[in-house]
Amino acid sequence: MRHIVFISLFIAISLHSEDFISRFEYGQMLYENPRGVSCVPCHGDRGEGKIIASYITDDGKQKILKGADIRFATLEDMLKAVHNGPGVMPKYFLTNDEIEAIYEYIQKVNQPADENSTDMDW
């Protein structure tokens, strides 16, 4: 009997809540760990781009491999990059909705502090 009461209560609470996580949290989760591989090591905490590797070529020149700065990318740019995997970026199998959530997350975390602090749930 307690099982039935617990399950009924759980279902009632679940049906009355708007979302399990906010859109912001969803985008953050995807950015930090989409399909087990994080965007952060290459694109940085806020999409600013990070050095992935640096090396010296046979002729003594230093080369730097850096993840793209995606803070100013358009949604269309991100859709194309994720689906096509340009350069050294691995191809991810994310839906357009997931890519849009990542895009919105990056846009939100890069807003000026006064805009960013008011509503993180959009």
pLDDT score for 36:
74
Instruction: Note down pLDDT in tens along the chain; length 122 residues.
Output: 666 655 655 565 555 555 688 999 999 999 998 777 789 999 999 999 999 999 999 999 999 999 999 999 999 999 999 888 767 888 778 899 999 999 999 999 999 876 555 444 44
Print burial letters for 24-58: b (CB count within 10 Å at least 16), e (below 16): bebbbebbeebeeeebeebbbeebeeeeeeeeeee
Element (H or E) spanning 84, and its range? helix 75-84
Fold topology of 20-112 = Cytochrome Bc1 Complex; Chain D, domain 2 (1.10.760)
